[in-house]
Homo-oligomer: A and B are copies of this chain.
Amino acid sequence: MKTAFRDIRDELRRRIIANEWPPGGLIPNEVDLCAEFNCARATVNRAMRELAEEGLIERRRKAGTRVRDVPRKQATFEVPVVRKEIEARGSRYQFTLLSREAMPAPAWLCARLEIPDNSPVLHLTCLHCADGHPYQFEDRWINLKALPQAKQADFSNVGPNEWLLATVPYTDAQISFGALNSDPDLAHHLGCKAGDALFVAERMTSFQDEPITYVRMIHQRGHQMTMRY
């Protein structure tokens, strides 16, 4: 495989990390680098574009390209799907629907999803287990105005998470991480003690400005979410 642009990108990155081109300083322009690497400008352009996306350099027309003073490092992670998470650990996945109720949305949910007061929603709670041990408690709310078919859906075999993924796409999502003291009910389901600190991920998705669902995923005690970058 041709790898010119990769080689150039890596060499430029090396020079930056090795401080041959100090932070804040200008680096040679595309035409000069073409000459040095003996290649077309498009090739240098692609190498530099990737470094810019990485956050290592900053490019501006006419002003040239400079090394960022503090690299804008960004981490990326795949949005977790609990069944895959569990199966990736080599454990058996199991899912239990704990409760299901159609109801008018409580005020806090209306505020969060920006839907009118008392909009009809479906409230589900479920437990995801790994090898029989509780792994995650899912507290899900589905906007029935956007997704009336959820009312008829059977969530006893396929969890709402996967049902939603298969049923509706989403165009916008927001995810938050935080911590929560377990209440006695949660403790009972997850098999921990009331008061234990639990890691919580919240997710809200919408499709073209129509809110779809809000979910709180409360993890077993000690759970960590890790990513490299």
List CB contacts (< 8 Å) of A38-92 with chain B.
Answer: 70-79, 81
Tell me if A165 is interfacial: C-beta within 8 Å of chain B: yes
Q: With A17-B171, A70-B165, A198-B197 in contact, do A177 and B79 touch (Cβ < 8 Å)?
A: no
Tell me if A100 is interfacial: C-beta within 8 Å of chain B: no
Complex CA–CA separation, A78 to B68 (angstroms): 14
Q: Inside 8 A of A196's CB, which chain B residues have their CB?
A: 181, 197
Q: Find out whether the CB atom of B75 lies under 8 angstroms from the CB atom of A229.
A: no
Q: Looking at the complex, which of A119-127, A147-155, A219-227 is the stretch in contact with chain B? A: A219-227
Q: Inside 8 A of A76's CB, which chain B residues have their CB?
A: 74-76
A 192-204 to B, binary, CB cutoff 8 A, 1 in contact else 0: 0001111110100
* Size class of the contact patch on chain A: 35 or more
Q: With A178-B224, A179-B180 in contact, do A169 and B71 touch (Cβ < 8 Å)?
A: yes
Closest to A169 in B: B17
Tell me if A99 is interfacial: C-beta within 8 Å of chain B: no
Complex CA–CA separation, A226 to B177 (angstroms): 7
Q: With A75-B77, A78-B73 in contact, do A228 and B172 touch (Cβ < 8 Å)?
A: yes
Tell me if A157 is interfacial: C-beta within 8 Å of chain B: no
Tell me if A102 is interfacial: C-beta within 8 Å of chain B: no
Tell me if A173 is interfacial: C-beta within 8 Å of chain B: yes
Which of B165, B174, B180, B199 is A177 in contact with, Cβ under 8 Å?
Answer: B199
Q: Find out whether the CB atom of A229 lies under 8 angstroms from the CB atom of B198.
A: no
List CB contacts (< 8 Å) of A139-186 with chain B.
Answer: 165-166, 169, 171-181
Binding site for B on A (CB under 8 A): 17, 70-79, 81, 165-166, 169, 171-181, 195-200, 202, 222-229
**Additional A-B contact list (10), CB under 8 Å, known A75-B79, A181-B195:** A71-B169, A75-B77, A173-B229, A174-B227, A177-B177, A177-B199, A177-B224, A179-B197, A180-B197, A202-B224
